[in-house]
Every structure is written in structure tokens, then in C-alpha cells.
Amino acid sequence: MRLTNAHEPAKTSIDAAGTAPKRDPETAANKRSTREETRTDQSSSARPSHWRPDIEGLRAVAVGVVIAAHIGFPYMAGGFVGVDVFFVISGFLITSLLLREIDKTGTVSIAGFYARRAVRLLPAAATVLVATLVAAWLWLPRTRLGEIAADAAAAALNVINIRLAQEGTDYLNAEVPPSPLQHFWSLAVEEQFYIVWPLVLLAIALLGARFGRPGKFTLARHRNRGPGRTAAITAFLVVAGGASLWASATWTAGDPVWSYFGIHTRAWELAVGALIAVAAGRIRAWTPTWAAALASWAGLALIVAAVFWLDEHTVFPGTAAMLPVAGCALVIAAGCVPHRFGAQALLGIRPAQFVGKISYGLYLWHWPLIMIGPAVMGLEEVRVRHYLLLMAVAFLLTIATFYLVENPIRTRRTLVQVPSRALALGGGLIAGMLAVSIFMVQQPMPAEENGEAAEITGDDSTVWEMIGESSDVESVPANLTPSLDEAGTDEPALYAEDCVTAWEGTDLKDCRFGDPDGEKTIVLFGDSHAAQWFPAFNQLAEASGWKLLPLAKAGCSVAAVSEHDSHLDRRYTECEEWKEKAFAEIESLEPDVVVTSAYDEKEILADDPDQAWADGWAESLNRLDEAAGEVYYLADSANPPGDTPACLAEHSDNVTECVVDVEAATTRPERRAAAIETIEAETDATVVDPIPWMCDVQNDTCPVVVGNFLVYRDGNHLSPRFVAELTPQVAAAIPLEAQRVDTR
């Protein structure tokens, strides 16, 4: 599980209520170590006391702004920087703990380190994970259960940030709702950092003992080598943290998904906290109290400024993360110096201390409530007031978890004093979470209980013949193809063959299909809504003896326009560069036929986006007409609103709930009509409208199940197997050779 030390309850001498808490051996030992350090020397190796009410208050600020951003609280879109505050806190706290252990013993107990993390953090995390899986099973569409269960398994193994980065770069998964376990990514980043960091400190301690002055190793001798050890630790942090900051600053814009979730662009934030821990003694010795007080307020102001200044359009982390990180660093560093009138006056108030104490559980609970709560409440449109009610529930669940799960387990002597027992507990909890995840994945879809539909063969029955009677289908057939649980992975073969250029890519893919020895060439050119037609065009090209060249890029239309890509959250310059290469390739090939298509739902950077879209298509099609024998514009397909497989899973016995009229299934009808009109008037390209192939235009309905075939694999892409059954319609509209196409 992710072990987030930034969320751990603070080790304080007096609790938030002003009473003495129960003592545990670890806390007592650490306090003795701290007193010994203070008495022994005032050098750079001296560490401040555990008790840091300012850090407890920072935890409250961090979790508060994260929640505010997630529920859409006005003007606080930058609240995601609370995660960065937690990173700095974690780097400081865990490094302080490890340095105290090295000062006292000369080494680091790796088993003891992870035993402490396990008893403090795994029980609450396991509670939230299991509760989230059960809630998802009860209230979310069954089509999502497998993915959420996989997220839970990745969370248990501390790799969910890697999984989310991989899923986030999958274009066909771009419109899937966020996972209710997505927030665990930050905890995974911290745990990955902690896998390496204690080992580094252990290596430095052992090397210092090995190559220090000869003679019997004693604690006193070890402390005399403190400056050398400190220099080695500092050098490592500066080099590793500097490399991570460089990666964050240079890679974020070009690779935003991996940069957001990856440890390679976040490690520097933990390193900043660690450096403060290393330098705590010098900070305390060299900083005037008045400067510390001012620094603490300045740091808090920087965090607040980041919350209100940054938003979802900020390239992040990048250099923008330096603002909240610097703010948190100032507050923590200032707290190393005893002073009055600093930000601790605000951070140390009792409500902030209490929220900080339970911040770990509150962070764990808030996101599943946001993602699943509206479904439990039956809300279609969720407002801030609804989220505030859900956060009240999260607060109550957090308190219950803290007092019934977290605190009793972390203070249990038999676990604290015997690392092997704590590690066994941690291993058992991880195994239990994996077992629950596997069980959830194996839950059957509701459609399996229904009867089977007559199979479409392509000879005795065709999709075309059954469209008219498919809008009245009431039950999801048990032999649905693809099944609801397979729909999300039922992609055109282009993706399996790596023949679609990803968001960040600009190079063309060298892929050939159809008849490799064919003398004539057809090019399929566009985004994923062009690529979705590959099964039909590949069959057509094979039967006609033509070579098929697909030129497809995620989210990139053929029209001569500038787009803002929501995935990259900026102007899609990669599309413009790739598109120019594609045009050059087509002009050099001089193909016999070019077929273009694209999703009409684009954010066009123009004063009149719809007209710019139409004019851009006309410009591009005229350019293609100069290079190719024939050019076809395959207008966008019908796209019923919402995720079709999810709708069918929810209404497996009432499929008509998922059927909509043609207008509702048409993406941006005005833009679509303007483009078709302009293309027909200003170009020689042939316009092909595919909506009658998938909708009953006479009865004004667009079915989602035709015979035993699922029409849509997600929210806006046709399923490949359904497209393959439309090959006769494609052949009639875009003839290559006068021969029969067998779709069986």
C-alpha cells in the first residue's frame, strides 16, 4: 500500500484536546534521542523536536485545498498543489526520522522502517480500498468494476501512478470517468521514493563506518563523522533532486500525463523536504527568530497564492510546482527555529490541529465519496452543496476510521515492538486487498442472465436489414458481441499493431494492410474516428486487391485548423506537425483514393470555430485532391451521449433507455452541417454520410444493440465488429473494384 508519511498523525507531547496522549515505545525512544542530541551538540547533526504543530496545520491546509479543488469550490482550482505540500512534508518527516535513527544507532533498520509504515498506514488504506470496491460494485456501472478492481490491485502494490499514466496516454480511454481510487497515485509516488531513500541513507551510514577512522566503532566516533555524512547526504539530494526538477521543467509540457503521475518529476519535491531535515540544525543556529516568523508567513502566503493563481490549464508540475513547494519549504524551515508571531499562530489552532491529525484518512475517503456519492444519491447534476454534504460524510468516516482502525493498530505494543509481526500484518492486508480485487473482477455482467439474440451472419441476416427493428430491443443479449466486459478493450487492429500515432508523437507509422502486392493504394487519413473504420476498409482493400495505408493520430483532424487538445491541455502543435508530414507522404505517394474522417467534437482555436472547421476541411480536401485520384469525406458517425456499455450494464433489461434520436446522437450538428455544405460547394471531394448505416433515420432512432452486435465500444467509437459488418455499405459508397465483398 502507499505509505504517506505526510498524513501520519503528528508525534506531539500534548494532543489537540490538551491532554497527554498514550505513550508508545517508538515515541518515547525518539524523544529520548532528541533530548540526547540537544545536550550532546549543537552541530548540523542536531535535529529539532518531533512536535511540530505548524506541520500538523500544514497537513490541514493541504488536505483542505485538495478537497476544495476536487469539489469545484470557486476560485480554488489550484488546490491540487496540496499534494505537493504533502510531498515536501513527507520528505522532511521521513528524513528526520531516519537521521535520528542513524545518529542513535549508526545504521537504519529497513525492517523496522517498513514495519512502522505498515502499522501506521496500511489498515486505513485497506479499509478505504475495500469499501470503495464494494461501493463501486453496488452503485457504479458494472462495466467499470473490472478497471476499478485493477486500480485497487495497483494501489495495493504501490504502482497505481504508473497504471494511471499508462491509461492516461491511451487515446481510446481518454473519456473514461476518473477512477474512485485515482487519488492513491500520490501515495504510490511517496512509497516508491521511500523504497530507495532508506537504502541510500543506510549505504551512506555503512560506508562512513567502513572508511572512517580506524578503531572500535562507537556512537561518539560515528557522530564525529557527522559533517562528512551530512555532506554525502546533501550531495545525493542535490544531484537527485536537481535531476528531477530538470525533468519536471523540461518534460512536463511535452509529456504531461507521465510527468504528472511519475516519480521522476516529483522526487525533487520530497528531496526539498529532506534537505531541510538535513540542514535543520544549521537553520536553527543561523536564523534570527524575526526572520523565521516572517518566512513562515511568506511561505503560507505562497501556498495560498498557488491555490488561487494556478488552475487546470497550468502546465503542471513543471516549474509551476516551485511556488507551493517553496512555500511549504519556508514554513517547515521556519519551524525549525523557535519563534513567536509566526504562521504557527494560525496553523496551530485546535481545529487545524485536529484536521491535520486525521488528514491521512480524510484524503483517503474524500475522493471515493466524490466519485461514487452522486450515484448513491441518484444525482444526475451534482452541485457544490451536494459535494459539501458528501464531504461531511467523508469527515465522519475519517473520524471513525481514525479511532477504530488507525489509532488502535498503530499503538498496539505487540506490533510496534516486534517488526516481524507488523510486516506480517502489512503483507496480510496487501494479500487481502488483492484477493478482494480478484473477486470483483470475476463478477459476471448482468447481460449473461438474459437470452441470446439471433446472430447476424452477413448472408441470411445483415446489420442493414436489422437496423429498423433494433431500437425496440429490450434486453442485452447474452451473446452480445463484443460482450459488455470486453467492449473497452475491443479496439481496431491498428492499435494492436501500433499504427496510430499517440498524442505526443509526430512521426508517421509505417503500416501497410489490405493486399500488400496490390497495384493501387487507398489511404485512410484522420483521427480515431477515421481509424474506427479500419475493419471495413481493410476487408474492402483485401477483396479488391488494393494496398491500404492508414495515417491516423490521436485527436488530430485533417482539417487545416489549430486545435486545443483537452488531454494535453494546450494547443495541439504535435497534430499540426504530424499532419504536415502526412500531407507530404500522400503527395509523394499519389494514391488512387484518400478517405478522410474526424470527430466533430474539437476545440477549435478561432473566433468562429464552426466556420473555421468548415473552411479548414475545404482547404485540406482541395490539397488532397491535387495529390490523389479520388477524395472522400466520410462524415462523423452518430455518437449517442454517454458511455453506451455502461448504460447497457445499468439497463440490461431495458435497452431502450440507451436509445436516442438522431439529433441527440449527432455531435455538433450545426458544425457538421456547415462542413458538409462547404465541402460540397468548394471542393471536388465526395461526401459520404454514414449515419443511415447505424441509425433508423425513418423512425429517428439510433439503436445501440443490433442483433447480437454491440454498436458502440465506448462513448463515441463504433465497435470494430459492428464496423466490419458495414463493409457492404462502405463498398457501395466508396467502390474500389466491382467485386463482391464477403463479410463473414
Q: How confident is the model at residue 652 (pLDDT cuts 50, 70, 90)?
A: confident
Q: Among 35-44, 115-124, 508-517, 558-567, which stretch is predicted with the lowest mean pLDDT?
A: 35-44
Percent of the chain topping pLDDT 90: 69
- Those residues whose C-beta lies under 8 Å from the C-beta of residue 424, and which sit 6 or more positions away, are none
Contact 563, 572 (CB under 8 A): yes
Residue 586, pLDDT above cutoff 90: yes
Q: Among 185-189, 578-582, 654-658, which stretch is predicted with the lowest mean pLDDT?
A: 654-658
What is the spatial distance between Cα 369 and Cα 67, in angstroms, rounded to a whole number?
Answer: 11
Q: What is the pLDDT of residues 205-217, one digit of tens each?
A: 887 666 554 433 3
Confidence at residue 602, expressed as pLDDT on a 0 to 100 scale: 93
Residue 577, amino acid: E
Residue 62, pLDDT above cutoff 90: yes
Q: Residue 420: count other Cβ atoms within 10 Å of its Cβ.
A: 10
C-alpha cell at 542: 483485401
C-alpha cell at 347: 496553523
What is the spatial distance between Cα 17 and Cα 354, in angstroms, rounded to a whole number?
Answer: 9
Residue 313, pLDDT above cutoff 50: yes
Residue 36, pLDDT above cutoff 60: no
The per-residue pLDDT of the chain, averaged, comes to 87
pTM reported for the whole predicted model: 0.82
Confidence at residue 584, expressed as pLDDT on a 0 to 100 scale: 97
CB < 8 Å & 24+ apart, contacts of 238-247: 238/271, 238/275, 240/267, 240/268, 240/271, 241/267, 241/268, 241/271, 241/272, 241/275, 242/268, 243/268, 244/268, 244/271
Residue 138, pLDDT above cutoff 60: yes
Delimit the domains of the chain by residue range: 34-236+269-441, 463-733
Confidence at residue 449, expressed as pLDDT on a 0 to 100 scale: 63
Confidence at residue 455, expressed as pLDDT on a 0 to 100 scale: 74
Topology (CATH level 3) of domain 463-733:
Rossmann fold (3.40.50)
Who has greater pLDDT, 715 or 630?
Answer: 630
Contact 159, 236 (CB under 8 A): no
Residue in 227, 223, 192 with CA at minimum distance from that of residue 94: 192
Residue 99, pLDDT above cutoff 80: yes
Q: Given the C-alpha cell 465519496, which residue does it identify?
A: 369
Mean pLDDT of 678-706: 95
Percent of the chain topping pLDDT 70: 87
Who has greater pLDDT, 143 or 428?
Answer: 428
Q: Residue 626: count other Cβ atoms within 10 Å of its Cβ.
A: 10
Residue 6, pLDDT above cutoff 90: no
C-alpha cell at 658: 440507451
Residue 741, pLDDT above cutoff 60: no
Confidence at residue 37, expressed as pLDDT on a 0 to 100 scale: 35
Mean pLDDT of 288-309: 97
What is the spatial distance between Cα 719 and Cα 492, in angstroms, rounded to a whole number?
Answer: 8
CB < 8 Å & 24+ apart, contacts of 681-684: 682/618, 682/622, 683/618, 683/621, 683/622, 683/625, 683/631, 684/622, 684/625, 684/631
What is the spatial distance between Cα 66 and Cα 364, in angstroms, rounded to a whole number?
Answer: 12
Q: What is the pLDDT of residues 506-521, one digit of tens each?
A: 999 999 999 988 899 9
Confidence at residue 353, expressed as pLDDT on a 0 to 100 scale: 96
Element (H, E) at 500: strand 500-501
Residue 75, pLDDT above cutoff 80: yes
Instruction: Measure CA 514 to chain center.
Output: 37
Residue in 603, 606, 497 with CA at minimum distance from that of residue 552: 497
DSSP state, residue 595: E
Q: What is the pLDDT of residues 448-507, one digit of tens each?
A: 567 777 677 766 678 777 888 888 888 999 889 999 888 888 899 999 999 999 888 899
Residue 11, pLDDT above cutoff 70: no
Who has greater pLDDT, 378 or 21?
Answer: 378
Residue 35, pLDDT above cutoff 60: no
Residue 392, pLDDT above cutoff 60: yes
Residue 7, pLDDT above cutoff 50: no
Residue 111, pLDDT above cutoff 80: yes
Mean pLDDT of 417-446: 88
**Distance between terminal CA atoms of the chain?**
49
Mean pLDDT of 25-33: 39
Q: How confident is the model at residue 61 (pLDDT cuts 50, 70, 90)?
A: very high
Who has greater pLDDT, 402 or 13?
Answer: 402
Residue 680, pLDDT above cutoff 90: yes
C-alpha cell at 517: 502486392
Confidence at residue 382, expressed as pLDDT on a 0 to 100 scale: 92
